[in-house]
Structure 1
Amino acid sequence: MSSVAGTSLPVVLPEGYALVEAPHPASLDDPDAWAYRAVADVAREIELETHGYDDLAVRPRDVLSGMDHQEYEAKRRFVVLRSAAARALAEDGARPAVHDVVAHLYVGRPLTSNEHLGEAYAFVRPAERGRGIGSALLDLGERLNLDAGRTVLFSDTSHGVEPPPGPGALEATTGAGRVPADAPGPRLLRSRGYVLEQVERHSVLDLPVPRETLDAHRDAARERAGDDYRLHTWTDEVPDAWLDQVALLFTRMSTDAPTGGVDYGEDPWDARRVRIWVGEQAERRNGFLVTVAEHVPTRTLAAFTVFAYPRERDDFAFQEDTLVLREHRGRRLGMLVKVANLDALAVERPATRRVHTWNAQENDHMLAINVALGFRPAGVWAAWQRRTAPAQDRA
């Protein structure tokens, strides 16, 4: 048994392993960037096992930029080292090699909203599973969040295939979506009292989409929307004149998009937060495309959709947030902005061959749009939640 530096929390790891809080380097050229590089390597290994490709793995610069920004969430990262590497680090300052890191933990606590919520995600290299490392990391993450007064604990799992209904599948409380009940992540979380509150479908769109398909959807959506809506597409920017309204759309993503049984309330955005988001994309060397639908009579934004993509790889992109405000639904604006953004992506990144996206399995409308465009199922992402008693009730 050992304890984490700066706390009195015991961490029970199997013999031969030690826990270290990841140092935060000034840049990836800093010798202390070893931990963030290792976090990315663990992520890549897990993604290759889960999906057979590494499109979804975080990169070292994603980790660095994410930890640089603590404005809206308090974040900590820990890594599990082989004991020899941990001793060398402590005694001689010798930086561990990537392969000396066998697991890592991310702990996050929202600071400006949802202050009841604490997140903890444990990741273990496949060859190191079954030794109790993941359980020890989750225990640490839970204790840090509980000690900070958080009463709802959140974690997630990702799976390359959604199982069919049956005894080997666990269904979300929404009644939509399943995960393999005997997979390591679900087994661990269920044993700790977590409930599967929502499942999102991971889908992939193979590019290019046939021109006739896009033309047909664009024409039908434009006819339904009528003349009251016009589109704007921005590349790697959000113009100052629209910052407040884009902030409103991001805020409404937290209230209008389905969250299943997850106890997640409004997460407010403002112009400053949008600027920070834009800056983070540059720090991570990501490009992005935003298409919005403006309601012309009121000069307000009614819908938006976002693509993001790594600049060092042009073979894939991520379809991120898409939202049509409730008061503007029924006019096919979701299809309209998605087709426009696909048109822009074809111009900006003609070599891109696939787009990844995620949608709540109960979000029939958005899933129908994606299916119509040609997205195919590629796995599931699962949201797990555990409710706890307030600290005074646990004492």
Structure 2
Amino acid sequence: MTGTDLHVHELDVHDDETFAAWHGAYAAALDAAVGEAAMTWTLPELQVQMREPTRDLERHGFVGRVGGPDGEVVAAGFAGFPQLDNLESAYLETSVHPDHQGRGHGTALAIHVEEFAVAAGRRLLTCEVRWRGDQGSDGEGSPGAALARSRGFKLGLTDVQRRLDGRIPDDVLDALAAEAAPHHTAYRLDAFTGPMKDEYAESWLALANTLMVEAPTGDIEREAERTDLATLREQEENVAKQGRTLFSTVALDETGEVVAYTTIAHGVHDVSGAFQWGTQVHRDHRGHRLGLAVKVANHRLFQAERPDVERVSTYNAESNVHMIAVNERLGFQPVSRMGEFQKRVPLRG
């Protein structure tokens, strides 16, 4: 027992009943926090993510029950430990079903997950908290933000979730492409579905591994990633098992190296929605409208392949004014916020 009457144990990822209840607590908490703006992993997607190990991240789930060790599942926790880079870091999440919030369960679960991470040798703890857009940049009034602060986490970066509802009209895409074209005549664009093409993979990795430090980070500490080709292919297999298809566009310089890219992911378990993943332009190739160009080309591809998708969601740091401007020109509108919180735990004795 920890703190309240919450019993916490590690999730058995092959226990279908408990896994479904664990997922249900997470999904209900996110719905309560941001309503229809929630970007929720579906149960089948999360089962693959937790059951199919990948070499880049060690994953642990935690189940919070009331009424004893076999009682009702009311809380869900997660700890992710990077294995190739950021080796002192842990990514933590805690969720409490809205019917059971306000009883100390969130604190009890947070203590358990944090202690688990620290015992594993992780000292830099990071968590993400989502809240409604009207709760401002600091999450005033958000129970999740209040819990993070009560545990000593500091808000290091605020992201804004934006969503595109419906298709981008073809004439809008045509106009934006025409506007960008004169600025990137020395580059070639390639839009495609599925895994990263073999001929692009190495240079794409060299660029993508820097995304987490090249994008605005605020006060969040991060190291560049060290994903290699074998890990990339493993990750792509994982994505395919989740029922997701990737839609990517790359910009290539005169040597054929990837200098910009963007990716959209769409899954079979929530066919109405898609996720805008990373977009990046190499720092030596900025100023050529490549960010706009790859996103326009990718949306054109995606809309041709998935004409019935109703929405595409993305996150940008509030300070990332360039990418926000690109997204807004495409029609994305703000719908919620997310705070990235972090704390460093001192070494013990």
Residue 318 of structure 1, CA deviation: 0.7
- What is the CA–CA distance in structure 2 between the aligned matches of 1:55 and 1:188, rounded to whole Å? 19
- What is the CA–CA distance in structure 1 between the aligned matches of 2:324 and 2:346, rounded to whole Å? 36
Q: Percent identity?
A: 28
Q: Is the 8 A contact 1:61 1:283 kept in 2?
A: no
State the match for 1:118 in structure 2.
90
- What is the CA–CA distance in structure 2 between the aligned matches of 1:70 and 1:132, rounded to whole Å? 34
State the match for 1:41 in structure 2.
24
Larger gyration radius, structure 1 or structure 2? 1
Measured on the aligned residues, the alpha-carbon RMSD in Å equals 1.7
> Which residue of 62, 80, 89 corresponds with 2:45?
62
Alignment of 1:188-337 (within 5 A): 188-226=147-185, 228-295=186-253, 297-337=254-294
The runs of 4+ residues in structure 1 deviating greater than 4 Å are none
Which amino acid in the other structure matches residue 58 of structure 1? Answer: W
- What is the CA–CA distance in structure 1 between the aligned matches of 2:37 and 2:178, rounded to whole Å? 36
Residue 247 of structure 1, CA deviation: 1.5
State the match for 1:363 in structure 2.
320
Which amino acid in the other structure matches residue 151 of structure 1? Answer: R
- What is the CA–CA distance in structure 1 between the aligned matches of 2:189 and 2:166, rounded to whole Å? 23
- What is the CA–CA distance in structure 1 between the aligned matches of 2:128 and 2:38, rounded to whole Å? 18
Alignment of 1:45-194 (within 5 A): 45-53=28-36, 56-67=39-50, 68-83=52-67, 86-87=69-70, 100-164=72-136, 178-194=137-153
> Any idea what SS the aligned residue of 1:180 has?
coil
State the match for 1:13 in structure 2.
4
- What is the CA–CA distance in structure 2 between the aligned matches of 1:306 and 1:19, rounded to whole Å? 37
Using a 3 Å threshold, how does the CA distance of structure 1 residues 372 and 54 change in structure 2: closer, same or farther? closer
State the match for 1:5 in structure 2.
none
> Any idea what SS the aligned residue of 1:179 has?
coil
- Between stretches 75-84 and 119-128, larger displacement belongs to 75-84
Q: Is the 8 A contact 2:192 2:247 kept in 1?
A: yes
Alignment of 1:341-380 (within 5 A): 341-380=298-337
- What is the CA–CA distance in structure 2 between the aligned matches of 1:103 and 1:123, rounded to whole Å? 6
Which amino acid in the other structure matches residue 4 of structure 2? Answer: L
Residue 24 of structure 1, CA deviation: 2.3
Residue 163 of structure 1, CA deviation: 3.2
State the match for 1:91 in structure 2.
none
Residue 321 of structure 1, CA deviation: 0.4
- The one-character-per-residue Cα deviations of 1:345-381 (angstroms, maximum 9, x if unpaired) are 1111000121100001111111111111111111111
Residue 162 of structure 1, CA deviation: 4.0
- Between stretches 62-71 and 153-162, larger displacement belongs to 62-71
Using a 3 Å threshold, how does the CA distance of structure 1 residues 323 and 108 change in structure 2: closer, same or farther? same
> Any idea what SS the aligned residue of 1:79 has?
strand
- What is the CA–CA distance in structure 2 between the aligned matches of 1:149 and 1:51, rounded to whole Å? 33
- What is the CA–CA distance in structure 1 between the aligned matches of 2:46 and 2:19, rounded to whole Å? 6
> Any idea what SS the aligned residue of 1:278 has?
helix
> Any idea what SS the aligned residue of 1:377 has?
strand
Residue 54 of structure 1, CA deviation: 7.3
Q: Is the 8 A contact 1:246 1:274 kept in 2?
A: no
- The one-character-per-residue Cα deviations of 1:137-187 (angstroms, maximum 9, x if unpaired) are 1111111122222221111210121435xxxxxxxxxxxxx1332321111
How does the TM-score come out when normalised to structure 2? 0.95
Which amino acid in the other structure matches residue 19 of structure 2? Answer: Y
Q: Is the 8 A contact 1:159 1:179 kept in 2?
A: no
- What is the CA–CA distance in structure 2 between the aligned matches of 1:388 and 1:20, rounded to whole Å? 23
Q: Which has the higher contact order (CA 8 A, sep 6+)?
A: 2
Using a 3 Å threshold, how does the CA distance of structure 1 residues 44 and 151 change in structure 2: closer, same or farther? closer
- The one-character-per-residue Cα deviations of 1:38-89 (angstroms, maximum 9, x if unpaired) are 22222321233233337611222222222222412222111112325x34xx
How does the TM-score come out when normalised to structure 1? 0.84
Matched, 1:22 2:11: yes
State the match for 1:92 in structure 2.
none
- What is the CA–CA distance in structure 2 between the aligned matches of 1:307 and 1:162, rounded to whole Å? 27
Using a 3 Å threshold, how does the CA distance of structure 1 residues 312 and 377 change in structure 2: closer, same or farther? same
Q: Is the 8 A contact 1:19 1:80 kept in 2?
A: yes
- The one-character-per-residue Cα deviations of 1:257-311 (angstroms, maximum 9, x if unpaired) are 111111111111221122112111111111110110111x221111000000111
Which amino acid in the other structure matches residue 210 of structure 1? Answer: P
Residue 123 of structure 1, CA deviation: 0.3
Q: Is the 8 A contact 2:62 2:113 kept in 1?
A: no
In the alignment of these two chains, the number of paired residues is 348
